[in-house]
A and B are shown apart, each in its own frame.
Chain A
Amino acid sequence: MGRSMGLRTYILKRTIYSFALILFVLALNFAIFDLMPGDPTALFANQARLGGVEVARAMEGLWGLNQPLHVRFVTYMRNMLTGQFGISYISMAPIAEEVTDRLLNTFLLVGVSTIFSIIIGIVLGVIAAYKRGSISDSLLVLSSLTTYSVPSFWLGMILLLVFSYRLDWFPSVGTTSFSAINPAPNIFVYITDKLWHLFLPALTLTLFMYGGYLLLTRATMLETLTEDYIMTARAKGLKERTILFKHALKNASLPLITNAAISIGFILSGAIITEQVFNYPGLGMWTWKAIDNTDYPVLHCIFFLVAICVIAANFIADLLYGVIDPRIKYG
């Protein structure tokens, strides 16, 4: 306590902590779904078309559901730690194969909208802080509060209605058009088509997220703008833009980084809903389908991956602190 330690000790400590957290998550992840009363074989047992009770029993054996708890736990741990994730109860395909495309789709969506919302949030936040107390400041704050509070699925529905149903500018489902992949197209057509499909979901998520960054940037900038070195910079006759974006923003960006890292999990929740609105085949739609079908191996995989992402993001944010602000003492 109180005693500051070196960067190396700090990294070591954070690493150990992150691994411990991952182990906790692994255990809880297993417990949540293992204690769930839903029976994944019920689908087969209830439908003679799928083979009825006999097939259900066979599935139970195949999935290892009739094995004792500790054996199932070992299998689960092996699946998670090797990145194999087992086999989906519904599609019967190895999850490791199924997860890649969906993960990429979601990362694309979340990545693009996070980057855009951070840029928009920072620029507008700096403007709001600079013009504090003015009408444009109030409007910016109110609009970001509103878009932040509007349910993302509702926003998606409205965008879908206007830009897809009425104006027909953007597609309403999927990530690619059939014509763009069949016959084998040139890469330019393919990418344009992807972006065309990505636009509305990404816009929804961006609108949903930028408000938080705007408010945070505004708050930290207001604090920074009262510092002495800003006055010094002004006295030197530097351009206002240089002062705002170079001197002030650099120091105000620390909370932004933490916030972006912490909100990864939150953003993924938003992505689930957004994917659902636009029928965008990413992790979100997959999650919903898996929940609907009590496809527990898929849920294990998704929960684990999301947790890893959040933990990794937090870890990176902790380390970045030092890079951006060398004054920080670890401890």
Chain B
Amino acid sequence: MTATSKGTIRLQIKRFKEFWNTFRRSKRGLFGVGILIFYIAIALAAPLLTPNDPIYDNYVAGDFATPSWFRSIPGGEKLNENFQLVTEQGFPTITSLFQEWNFTTSSSESGSITLRYDPDVGNGSASLVFRRKSSTVLAKEVRAHLTKKFPFPYGPPRRFFCNITVFAEGVEKVPVRVSFTISQIGGNQSYPSFWSEKIENTTKTGMTPSPLIDSYDPEIKKRIGGDTLTDPAKMVFSEPANYVYDISFLFIDNKEETIGEEFEAIVYVDDLNVKLYGTAYGALGTDQQGRDIFAQFLYGARISLLIGLIAAAVSVLIGLIVGIVAGYVGRRVDQVLMRFTDVLLVLPALPLLIVLIAVPIPILEGIFGSGSSMGKIIFVIGVLNWMGFARVVRSQTLSLKERPFIEAAKAVGAGRFHIILRHIIPNVMSLIYVSLALSVPTAITLEAALSWLGLYDPKVVSWGRMLYDAQINEGIERLWWIVPPGISIALVSVSFILLGYALDEILNPKLRRRR
């Protein structure tokens, strides 16, 4: 590093310190910077603050879940969090089977069922082994139950989902009917089993219910509730109570031709799980697809800030170029550019913006790709937002052009580019900072308005899109859904405006208007 560049850096640091000492005295400016730091922090730390993806993690809880903290306010006692019958699918250890599950069998005189732990099937499975007492006597029907009790002292879950995998051996000779259901202990179960299947062939690949036992599936609704309008979740979990998950096995030993054979019929049960989707989740609940609203809020800060900053930078850059060219080159170029600016200023900005975003424009689709529209949104907002700044830069350039130091530069033979880069731009730098700060709120609110009209980028979630989702899903009554993004848009905008004013007062003392 050369001595001069070291000196330059030292000078820059010194200048920044001076600037900071002045800035520190502006209470409003500090307030703005404080809010901004907060939002930038949550935007950056989003992945640390939530494990959920804001768009792709569907059903982290039931859809339209309320925030978790609703459970601690009166009236919210019946709201439930997500509940899983087993924390790890299957039976990973032998104790998990024999301590947590209850095995009962109606072994008759001629046949018996024993429960065995089989660590080698799947990631550990429960095996029910059927044997005849005597190979010559058919056992007729022998039944066994594998049950697990669980308390559910809440109102109905939003949705439930059950899974089970069954492998079978030797069932060609003794078919087995496997079925499972959940019922209230002491209640009158008036609905059929969730799933019931007679297995007559050896299956090594495992058999799972098809369709999966999902209370939202119309077929399951019909099976359990009788019609597609009944909600099985409300039917099964009608009141706070203790419930039992019950898998029943019915070995049907009545094939005359197998008399005299020595064999075992085995059913392996694995991967069984029950998930009750909560009606309360996280800090801000969930949206219409059960996605975490808090995650959307955090990641939304990223997108809204990103779009705001980049679009503001684009508009400031365009305004700078147009303003300097118009002001410095002057004459006809100035006329054309300024009339073009005037025309853009009188056209209605928002409709124009909507048209440019809503209609696919081949050139822009080519540049930004057609899958994600964020680039296009940023570009179009930037392109329609530079006119005011261009005017300011132009008038500043016009006045700078006549100053003696530019004359002097010209006299020693400096070219246009040199003068613009070395003399004009450094002198409008303070305007650039201020305009940048004041353009961000415009860009953020424009993006929010576009998203709210439905013109969002499907691949990302912004605060405006959250409001759109709330609006079209009639979630506007859900204050926890619409207040955080709305307030945040306002706060971020206010903080940028306050920052802009503070910068304006410090950097442009000559141009300053009292505010």
Contacts and interface: CB of A to CB of B under 8 A. Distances in A.
Interface of A: 20-21, 24-25, 28-29, 32-33, 36-38, 141-142, 145-146, 149-154, 157-158, 160-161, 165, 215, 218-219, 222-223, 265-266, 268-269, 272-273, 276, 287-288, 291-292, 294, 299, 302-303, 306-307, 310-311, 314
A36 B485 CA distance: 33
Nearest to A226: B514
Contact of B347 (A25, A218, A273): A25
Contacts of B497: 145, 149
B343 A36 contact: no
A244 to B, nearest CB: 17
A273 B493 CA distance: 18
B486 interface: yes
A199 B365 CA distance: 42
* Residue among A222, A223, A303 with most chain B CB within 10 A: A303
Contacts of A276: 453
A303 B348 CA distance: 6
Interface string B353-386: 0110011111000000000000000000000000
Contact of B352 (A32, A145, A157, A314): A32
B262 interface: no
B346 A149 contact: no
14 contacts: A25-B347, A33-B355, A36-B355, A149-B490, A154-B448, A154-B482, A154-B489, A157-B476, A219-B513, A223-B514, A287-B351, A288-B453, A299-B351, A306-B347
Contacts of A161: 476-477
Interface string B480-500: 001001100111011001100
A265 B348 contact: yes
Contacts of B349: 265-266, 269
B116 to A, nearest CB: 60
B490 A153 contact: no
Interface of B: 339-340, 342-343, 345-352, 354-355, 358-362, 441, 445, 448-449, 452-453, 464, 467, 471, 476-477, 482, 485-486, 489-491, 493-494, 497-498, 513-515
Contact of A302 (B351, B489, B515): B351
The secondary-structure label for the interface of chain A is: helix
B343 A21 contact: yes
Contact of B515 (A149, A153, A218): A218
Contacts, number: 136
A294 B441 CA distance: 30
Contacts of B477: 161, 165
Contact of B452 (A153, A299, A302): A153
A158 B486 contact: yes
The secondary-structure label for the interface of chain B is: helix
A149 B342 contact: no
Contact of A146 (B354, B464, B490): B490
A190 B359 CA distance: 40
B346 A265 contact: yes
A123 B340 CA distance: 37
A304 B345 CA distance: 13
A218 B515 CA distance: 7
Contacts of A28: 343, 347
A294 B498 CA distance: 40
Contact of B486 (A36, A141, A151, A291): A151
Considering the complex of A and B, which 9 residue pairs feature the smallest CB-CB distances, nearest first? A149-B493, A269-B350, A154-B486, A150-B490, A310-B346, A306-B348, A149-B490, A24-B343, A307-B346
Contacts of A302: 348, 351
Nearest to B468: A153
A160 B351 contact: no
B174 to A, nearest CB: 58
A303 B347 contact: yes
A273 to B, nearest CB: 6
Contacts of A294: 359
B494 A146 contact: yes
B348 A269 contact: yes
Given A37-B359, A38-B359, A151-B486, A20 B352 contact: no
B515 A288 contact: no
A146 B486 CA distance: 11
A132 B66 CA distance: 45
A219 B360 contact: no
